[in-house]
Amino acid sequence: MAKKRGRKSKRQYFTEDTEHAIIEYLASEDQNERNRIYNSRIHHSFYKLAENLIHTFKFYYTEVDDLEDLKHEVICFLLEKLHYFKAGKGKAFSYFSIVGKNYLILYNNKNYAKKKGKADLLEADTDNGILTNFENEERLGEKIEFLDIFIEKVDHKIPTIFNKEHDMAVADAVLTLFKKRESLEIFNKKALYIYIREITGCDTPSITKVTKILQKYYLKAYSQWELGQPIVL
């Protein structure tokens, strides 16, 4: 009697070899070698991950006519964040799933903001943190040049500032929100906490911890900027 075939894992497209390939990609300084590793062992996994995230969470409110274009944008974003992954700090599948979902939620932020606007904001954390510094749009207008410089510098330092996967995911979510601040329909601290909780799956104390750390870097950088000094974090 023929053996029954086992049910294929939904994660089969993102295997141990994919994780090893990502580690090898990051360890290599040869661009040709990197291209070979990415094309032969990583790209398909990223493509299927993007596809599954779009359909699982029904991210269908997009600015593109073809979902293939959206998949391509997600893949490009995953590749941009590839250097944040650290071996031994968590599974690659988990990390890139968070990063991909993060991007897609922000991509759909107009519809998402309307939905979350109905949530009970009283359940959000009331502690003052970095979000308070950014919630006033007039202040954003005055500090736009500094804010862009700060975001760029901190973005490159996330892997050195934080060593836990979920902390890096929260920090990346906060910075990504402010990169896309002009398209957000919400800009108050409590709603943003809910927004970030949904993006990362982290609880409010974890978000508060990360934002307090980012706030210290923000204050240090802003002091340097006000004095006309180079921003060194």
Measured CA to CA, the distance from residue 19 to residue 41 in angstroms comes to 9
Q: Which residue bears the tokens 């609880």? A: 203
Q: Domain boundaries in the chain?
A: 12-107, 120-233
Considering the chain, what percentage of its residues have pLDDT values greater than 70? 70
Q: Above 60 in pLDDT, residue 129? A: no
Give the end-to-end CA distance of the chain in Å, rounded to a whole number. 67
Question: What pLDDT band is residue 125 in, cutting at 50, 70 and 90?
Answer: very low
pTM of this structure = 0.50
Tell me the pLDDT tens digit for each residue of 210-232: 888 998 898 888 888 877 788 88
Measured CA to CA, the distance from residue 53 to residue 108 in angstroms comes to 13
Please report the pLDDT score of residue 183 as a whole number: 55
Tell me the pLDDT tens digit for each residue of 146-169: 888 888 888 888 888 998 888 888
Tell me the pLDDT tens digit for each residue of 68-123: 888 988 998 898 888 888 888 788 998 898 888 888 877 776 545 544 444 433 34
Measured CA to CA, the distance from residue 221 to residue 226 in angstroms comes to 9
Q: Give the pair of three-digit tokens for residue 227.
A: 């004095």
Measured CA to CA, the distance from residue 202 to residue 44 in angstroms comes to 28
Measured CA to CA, the distance from residue 214 to residue 232 in angstroms comes to 14
Q: How far, in whole angstroms, is CA 190 from its chain's centroid?
A: 19
Please report the pLDDT score of residue 120 as a whole number: 37
Question: Nearest CA to 15 among 57, 36, 46?
Answer: 46
Measured CA to CA, the distance from residue 14 to residue 159 in angstroms comes to 23
